[in-house]
Structure 1
Amino acid sequence: MMCDAPALALRVVTDGHLDVPLPGRGDTAERLRVLAGLCHRDISMGRLVEAHLDADAILADIIGERTGDGEFWGVWAAEPPEPTVTAERQAGRWELTGAKPWCSGVISCTHALVTARDADRRRLFAVDLQQPGVRPERGGWAATGMRTTETGTARFDRAVARPIGEPGAYLDRAGFFHGGIGVAACWLGGARKVADTLYATAARGRDDDITLMHLGAVDARLAEGQALLSHAAAAIDSAPEGLERARRLASQVRWSVEQIATDVIDRVNRALGPAPLVHHREHAQAVADLGVYIRQSHADRDLVTLGRLVVEESTARRPTAQEDRCR
């Protein structure tokens, strides 16, 4: 049975039982475990809850505040060339005007962190979405994958907003990259959900060599992903303010988990053939959801970024000629 992802996410967020550690506070492993578990339950629901938890972490990181009881937050930070959202200070208050695409939870969220242009600078704002100056729009989502995340466009018409930190505060911090690793944990949880059908099929006695080969490979890949997340959690907790280390770590983990998720989808399909995709609605939806979700990465561009970070770090560590002569 398909779930109503926004309604379920809202219940998870607001029922008072969602107590997830902030990243970099000593228990990041538990945070990543919860995120993976949410997407193992339902990928679209987990994606929406992850955004709320990310908003909570961003607020705590930048201004020392947390999301409030009964609130359901999104993080709407997509920055395509067009359309754009601009921020202007009018009569002592900030107002947002324009359109923001790719807003998940555009109907159900009560609040959102929204990036906007303050002159030529990118700045983050908190917006109460239950005001006349905000109009959510659905439509344009043709894909089957992630179709229940209510991803659409938010239109702002002089919507009152509160700045969160100074311009650049959202991106120029280790926590931004810790959040990216949280998304990778969601991908891994989604991969586990896709793999569940293969595990269940094998448990029912289908133990031919091809099925067992793919099952073994999937099991090893999922263990690899868990090891990556455990390593990342320990690294985050050991240096929570380390911006350059966080940037490189996030690139490593996200690309690696993306490969794991892609391989799991492929191996489950190859092991089981088309039957689960056409007869098992929940499995088919999970495959479609995960395929769209991992495209939140920037694919090969992320490898270019990682390669550049490796070179920059190597260059920074290279001894100068004077240091070489002193050896």
Structure 2
Amino acid sequence: MIEPRVTTGSAEPRTGGPSTPTFLGWADQGLVAAARSAGPDIDGALDLARALGPTSESLGRSTWSYLQTLGSMGAGDLTVARVVEPHLDALAILGQAAQRDRGVDGSWPSASAPRGSTWGVYAAHAPGAHLDAHAVGGEWMLSGVKPWCSLADRLSHALITAHIDESRRQVFAVDLTHPGVRVSDDPWVSRGLAAVRSTALELDAVPAMPVGPPGWYLDRPGFSWGGVGVAAVWFGGACALAQRVLEAAHAREPDQLALLHLGRLDLALQGAEHALRAAADRIDSGEATGCAGEIMAARARSTVASATELALSETARALGPAPLTCDEEHARRVADLTIYVRQHHGERDVARLGSLLVGRAT
């Protein structure tokens, strides 16, 4: 059951007392405040990511707690959330790999996260960028180019997928401070998530530790779960936008159009919250594996992405240009969320859901 949107923790939304309805009643208000305080400073975000590391262990066990943490980060500051989410995802992947290794013959040694390390997950591929993994004297080395590596110049480590032959890929743990790692000087002109620079990495014989066997990264149940985590961040950002509209309605008597905007926001975000909570329940119950897990994740991500797009649109219409030009936090949130939700591929992702339903996914 969806809990009423009533805030009882610290850092209450500015609509009144603890019994005042709010779009952020699901959130951990302490974490929302922590993200707002840290953002958009990258160093502050990295400190928060380190502190939240143990949260990664709740994915698959108490998944709503994991999603709530990410959503609260998104509601507080999307730049901070963009730093925290891949760090927690990487730690969760390492934990899943270690758990797998305990159940097999130990032929795949488990990589671990050094104390104080910060992580990214780089699994994107692009034409003209190719990264190969070669075994040299019993050790693996990575050489080539990896595209879309966010914060590669600020993180200590990353999980990186690479080709081990023409048809197979494997994920490796890499120390980004190795001298064979070079961050490309490609321009980053984005107005949203401006501090989260994403460019290519060039690697030259960089030592790497395999994380699971070939193909494991994509085949593991947690691959779909990670996508739901990203959607939780979108949800948090969308709820913060809706909260701004609600605050405006409390500041002066709303007309019928203002009430319409609020109603649309509530319906969309209520549906998104339902989708995330249902996904968490399925993950914890063991039902989100294989094709069922892919369908679950596709539904949740698309539902939240649609609600987020609506939140951006309704907020713009409800508030007009003033907060975009005079409220730095709001303007940055709109720009950040506009870029962030583009990780969803829109109609292509919905079409993939259709293909999963008829058993024709590739």
TM-score by length of 2: 0.82
How many residue pairs get matched? 312
Q: Which amino acid is 1:265 matched to?
A: L
- 3-state DSSP of counterpart to 2:245: helix
Hey, what's the Cα distance between the residues in 1 that align with 2:253 and 2:184?
46
Give the stretch that moved more between structures: 272-281 or 2-11.
Answer: 2-11
Structure 1: segments with no counterpart, 5+ residues:
314-327
> Which residue pairs with 1:322 in the alignment?
none
Q: Deviations over 1:160-185 (max 9, x none)?
A: 11111111000011110011111111
What is the aligned counterpart of 1:102 among 148, 170, 192? 148
> Greater RCO between the two (CA within 8 Å, min separation 6)?
1
> Which residue pairs with 1:319 in the alignment?
none
What is the aligned counterpart of 2:79 among 25, 32, 44? 44
Q: Is the 8 A contact 1:24 1:237 kept in 2?
A: yes
- Please give the residue correspondences for 1:16-31 in structure 2 after superposition, counting only pairs within 5 Å: 19-25=55-61, 27-31=62-66
Shift of 1:155: 1.5
Q: Is the 8 A contact 2:39 2:45 kept in 1?
A: no
Shift of 1:255: 0.8
| Shift in CA distance, 17/312, structure 1 to aligned 2, threshold 3 Å | closer
Q: Is the 8 A contact 2:57 2:92 kept in 1?
A: no
Q: Is the 8 A contact 2:221 2:293 kept in 1?
A: yes
Q: Is the 8 A contact 1:101 1:152 kept in 2?
A: yes
Within the alignment, does 1:200 sit opposite 2:236 as a pair? no
- Please give the residue correspondences for 1:175-190 in structure 2 after superposition, counting only pairs within 5 Å: 175-190=222-237
What is the aligned counterpart of 1:12 among 32, 48, 51? 48
> Which residue pairs with 2:266 in the alignment?
219
Structure 2: segments with no counterpart, 5+ residues:
1-35, 100-109
Shift of 1:241: 6.2
> Which residue pairs with 2:3 in the alignment?
none
> Which residue pairs with 2:157 in the alignment?
111
Task: Give the alignment's Cα RMSD to 1 decimal.
Answer: 1.9
- 3-state DSSP of counterpart to 2:216: coil
Shift of 1:77: 0.6
| Shift in CA distance, 177/19, structure 1 to aligned 2, threshold 3 Å | closer
What is the aligned counterpart of 2:117 among 71, 83, 91? 71
In percent, how many aligned pairs have the same letter? 38
Shift of 1:12: 0.5
Q: Which amino acid is 2:353 matched to?
A: L
Within the alignment, does 1:134 sit opposite 2:170 as a pair? no
Give the stretch that moved more between structures: 279-288 or 170-179.
Answer: 279-288
Within the alignment, does 1:265 sit opposite 2:291 as a pair? no
